[in-house]
Structure 1
Amino acid sequence: MAQLWGGRFTKETDKLVYNFNASISFDQKFYRQDIRGSIAHVTMLAKQGILTEEERDQIIAGLKGILKDVEEGTLLITDEYEDIHSFVEANLIDRIGDVGKKLHTGRSRNDQVALDMKLYTRDEILEVDYLLRELLEVLLKMMKEHTATFMPGFTHLQKAQPITLAHHLGAYFEMFKRDRQRMKDIYERMNYCPLGSGALAGTTYPLDREYTASLLDFYGPTLNSMDSVADRDYLIEFLSALSTIMMHLSRFSEEVIIWNSNEYQFVEIDDAYSTGSSIMPQKKNPDIAELVRGKTGRVYGALMSLLTAMKGIPLAYNKDMQEDKELTFDAIDTTKGCLALFTGMIKTMNFRKDRMEESAKHGFTNATDAADYLVKHGVPFRDAHGIVGQLVLYCIDRKIALDDMSLEELKKISPVFEEDIYEAISMKTCVEMRNTIGAPGERAMKEVIEKEEAYLKEQEVPGK
């Protein structure tokens, strides 16, 4: 078909070049945003007297008809059109005649696509925020249920000190809470309208950019027309934030994979989120956790690709910037899918409390508390450290836990030990004595849970 820009050209574009240049295969994704932006644009044009009210109403009716037909599947978006803007405008002209040709007055495809991408990204930020909030609600519910579920805390993948499952889950709550805050930050920074910037230098038409911005729920118009059409910072920020979300999901997935292993058996993943082996009947594989971990690289790739595409682009618009869409669309869809599936997986997981507590005991996670016991009874810390090291070696040789040693055995290594040592190094005492804010003690955890509940009730939604 004839191109909207074809007046300057004397022969048809080569088919291969046309296909290479076209973006309809992916930018059709924001047909709603394109039509919404066009409705706002013609509403403003009529307000400014550039179009008549009758022309405005005809165009808007035509645009709404196109939207309805696309939504209902009676109008298909095909590769007959170069991009979504061409599709909408060509169909509008077919439906309402020459009045449809006035749609593009005072507008360039440069500021049009900048608007569409901003509107689309803004909608997706809200979608991702919603999914993050759902995940946080599931985590908070689990935290409330497991303030007394003892487990080992790790450093270097070595058992370190006893904590609770609530405390461990709370660490991820903080991560995903920061992810929501990043969504809000990006929304605030990007929420300015580029429409009216033209190709790069504005327009001679007396547009009311403030009015257009308000119709589209932006805080106001962008303040430099060159930057408006050349800016993809908000996409880079969004992809960076999505990469961070995926990194957090991947870390959590790695732990689920470890906890699900035969050696740990801390969790049992629900059958709906597991698969078996085609040859080994005993297998129950944590496929969803592994796929989330694997798909993290895919989102990282989108971020690096866009950073690389943008690094050498002079002002203002260049065709390289068309590469932003497929990358961003894929990263958004991947992250949203991973968030939804991961939330479902952890919501249905069964935690083996007995295995967790036994693992904490047999990992000598209470060794520090045994040393603290000696210090409280007058032994210098460095000496106490050495004494407990001897206790650990003794237990390793006999394949027992510190709690399993008799008082007689303890006294052979240090006469300072008395019967109260058993209470001092119980998992319950080791955890509950740690009650500074942010620690795993039950009193501290309940205070944190109250704060997290209050945070979720605040309804921190971007743009609100």
Structure 2
Amino acid sequence: MRLWEKNNTAIDKTVEEFTVGDDYLIDMTLIKYDITASIAHAKTMLKAEIITEDELKELMIGLQKLSTAVENKEFLIKQEDEDMHTAIENFLVLELGEIGKKIHTGRSRNDQVLAALRLYYKEQLLMLKEELVQLIETIIDIAKKSEFVPLVGYTHMQKAMPSSVGILFGAYAESLLDNFQIIEAAFSLNNQCPLGSGAGYGVSIELDREYTVQLLGFEKVQNNVVYVQNSRGKVELSILHALSMTMLDLGRIANDIILFSMDEFGYISLPKEFCTGSSIMPQKKNPDVLELIRAKTSVVQAQYFLVQSIVSKLISGYNRDLQLTKKPMIESFQICIDSVKIMNNLLKGIVINEDKCLKGFSAEIFSADEAYELVKKGMTFRDAYLEVGNALNNDEKSKHIVNKEIIVNNIKNKKNIGHTGNVGLEMIEEKISEKKEIVKKEKEVFHERLTNLHLHI
């Protein structure tokens, strides 16, 4: 029986299929969080004297049994259940009889689904932060080992100035590290407990919402009951923005490595186990992993605009449109976390080919540096720029390869903050070490809180 169904209710089968869609399948990802939130709600009902201690014990046993069945893949939500909320209550009624009918007291599916989503988002964001820490550590390791390996710097996809492998990979690490600020802002916005707000206009029984916060480990109560529903979409977009920015970095790394691993460059060699082949050309070693990361960047960005489009036209309060925001969230988390993991594994196996990096250098790449040498002797920059530029036009040797010593000295002598001779890898390393400890503690607290919730009656 559906939670909204009355004795005289009849629904056309096509309406059921259309309104439910694949939501009952999507809810299998979320049901364990709905069970957890249901346990917290049951304990809050005991505190409000809505149920007795014996009834709480019965509900806890029933919910634990369901949790085990879900974990062992012995329970499936059916289309006729409509969603996980109905499936949970139907299970409890079947197991416990009348006591099972009490689980929905003082709540709506509107705040129930939000609680499950917030817990799911919280765990996924913690997983993302943990994987990002590992990826950044790998990138820093590459940067340190190849800190002064010369690499041509490009603007407009044309040779520009001397650069290095160290500063390029340092840039990747610093950019990914900056994403923590965006992720943590989304994490904080999400870390508010919606339970107790009902359908969006409160409930007529006294529930200790602060107590529910403590049980579930949220940072605070989400105060305004109308805003609880209005925030659905806003929280999602904040998270999707964080995921999009992470994928933006991964897409750029993928693009760079695809380019630099081409035979025409050869600066980087990819691990063979991360390449695929061609069905017709035996020699091919294709960078499919990197190409898919690049493409999946666009998928996550598209999911952001999908959710934004869905929620931007809604009036205040719950609207069924919001059902369609669940799938893009789950898919985007999976894409982003999987992409971070596989990028980390791939980067551990790359080889920097220093000889080929050096072959990319020719004399004209030092033009800006030569102009500044003239500035140091008293010439204005504009005159120096013109003198070097005119000399280049008349110098057939400008395309000649220069020796390694000149290139490496050029790189090492640029010691301004963040330059090739002073990349600041130790600073990034220190920051990511701090993040690692914070994320470890956050995960421990989150899982300990939820484990205790399930264990203690």
| 1:314 match | 315
Distance in 2, matches of 1:376 and 1:300, equals 47
TM-score by length of 1: 0.90
Question: Residue 122 in 1 paired to residue 100 in 2?
Answer: no
Distance in 1, matches of 2:398 and 2:193, equals 71
Q: For the structure 1 residues 373 and 201, does the alpha-carbon distance in structure 2 shift closer, same or farther, using more than 3 Å as the test?
A: closer
Residues 184 and 461 in structure 1, CA contact (< 8 A), matched pair in contact too: no
Matched residue SS, 1:6: coil
- Give the alignment of 1:165-314 within 5 angstroms: 165-232=165-232, 233-314=234-315
- Give the alignment of 1:48-67 within 5 angstroms: 48-67=48-67
Distance in 2, matches of 1:175 and 1:367, equals 29
Please, which of 405, 417, 438 is the counterpart of residue 418 of structure 2? 438
Matched residue SS, 1:161: strand
Q: Which amino acid aligns with 1:461?
A: V
Residues 153 and 163 in structure 1, CA contact (< 8 A), matched pair in contact too: yes
Please, which of 402, 412, 425 is the counterpart of residue 449 of structure 1? 425
**CA displacement at 1:382 relative to structure 2:** 3.8
Residues 177 and 432 in structure 2, CA contact (< 8 A), matched pair in contact too: no
- Give the alignment of 1:409-424 within 5 angstroms: none
Q: For the structure 1 residues 191 and 349, does the alpha-carbon distance in structure 2 shift closer, same or farther, using more than 3 Å as the test?
A: same
Matched residue SS, 1:143: helix
Distance in 1, matches of 2:72 and 2:240, equals 32
Deviations 1:423-459 (A, max 9, x none): 7xx1122112211111110xx23xx122112112213
Residues 188 and 462 in structure 1, CA contact (< 8 A), matched pair in contact too: no
Residues 184 and 462 in structure 1, CA contact (< 8 A), matched pair in contact too: no
| 1:18 match | 16
Q: For the structure 1 residues 363 and 88, does the alpha-carbon distance in structure 2 shift closer, same or farther, using more than 3 Å as the test?
A: farther
Structure 1 or 2, whichever has the larger Rg, is 1
**CA displacement at 1:90 relative to structure 2:** 0.5
Residues 192 and 218 in structure 1, CA contact (< 8 A), matched pair in contact too: yes
- Give the alignment of 1:145-164 within 5 angstroms: 145-164=145-164
| 2:90 match | 90
Distance in 1, matches of 2:290 and 2:343, equals 7
Q: For the structure 1 residues 383 and 375, does the alpha-carbon distance in structure 2 shift closer, same or farther, using more than 3 Å as the test?
A: same
| 1:340 match | 341
Q: Which amino acid aligns with 2:122?
A: R
Deviations 1:99-141 (A, max 9, x none): 0100111111111011111111111111111111111110111
Distance in 1, matches of 2:438 and 2:157, equals 35
| 2:36 match | 36
Q: Which amino acid aligns with 1:265?
A: G
Distance in 2, matches of 1:388 and 1:362, equals 15
**CA displacement at 1:235 relative to structure 2:** 0.6
Distance in 2, matches of 1:146 and 1:212, equals 51
| 1:418 match | none
Distance in 2, matches of 1:52 and 1:11, equals 32
Distance in 2, matches of 1:220 and 1:378, equals 62
**CA displacement at 1:32 relative to structure 2:** 1.0
Residues 184 and 463 in structure 1, CA contact (< 8 A), matched pair in contact too: no
Q: Which amino acid aligns with 2:297?
A: T
Distance in 1, matches of 2:271 and 2:227, equals 50
**CA displacement at 1:377 relative to structure 2:** 4.5
Distance in 2, matches of 1:36 and 1:296, equals 32
Residues 193 and 213 in structure 1, CA contact (< 8 A), matched pair in contact too: yes
Residues 28 and 76 in structure 2, CA contact (< 8 A), matched pair in contact too: no
TM-score by length of 2: 0.91
| 1:3 match | 2
Matched residue SS, 2:285: coil
Matched residue SS, 1:152: strand
Residues 159 and 363 in structure 1, CA contact (< 8 A), matched pair in contact too: no
Matched residue SS, 2:217: coil
Q: For the structure 1 residues 271 and 54, does the alpha-carbon distance in structure 2 shift closer, same or farther, using more than 3 Å as the test?
A: same
Distance in 2, matches of 1:132 and 1:114, equals 26
Which structure 2 residue ranges, 5 or more long, are not aligned? 443-457
**CA displacement at 1:395 relative to structure 2:** 5.1
Pick 1 or 2: higher relative contact order, CA cutoff 8 A, min separation 6.
2
| 2:76 match | 76
How many residue pairs are counted as aligned between the two chains? 437
Distance in 1, matches of 2:293 and 2:10, equals 46
Q: Which amino acid aligns with 1:430?
A: N
**CA displacement at 1:238 relative to structure 2:** 0.5
**CA displacement at 1:384 relative to structure 2:** 3.5
Q: For the structure 1 residues 396 and 119, does the alpha-carbon distance in structure 2 shift closer, same or farther, using more than 3 Å as the test?
A: farther
Q: Which amino acid aligns with 1:437?
A: I
Question: Residue 461 in 1 paired to residue 403 in 2?
Answer: no
Deviations 1:350-374 (A, max 9, x none): 1111111221x22632222233334
- Give the alignment of 1:366-385 within 5 angstroms: 366-377=366-377, 380-385=380-385
**CA displacement at 1:185 relative to structure 2:** 1.4
Matched residue SS, 2:160: strand
| 2:352 match | 351
Distance in 2, matches of 1:235 and 1:245, equals 15
**CA displacement at 1:383 relative to structure 2:** 4.2
Deviations 1:14-46 (A, max 9, x none): 112112222212122111100000000010111
Distance in 2, matches of 1:311 and 1:463, equals 36
Residues 163 and 411 in structure 2, CA contact (< 8 A), matched pair in contact too: yes
Q: CA RMSD in A?
A: 2.0
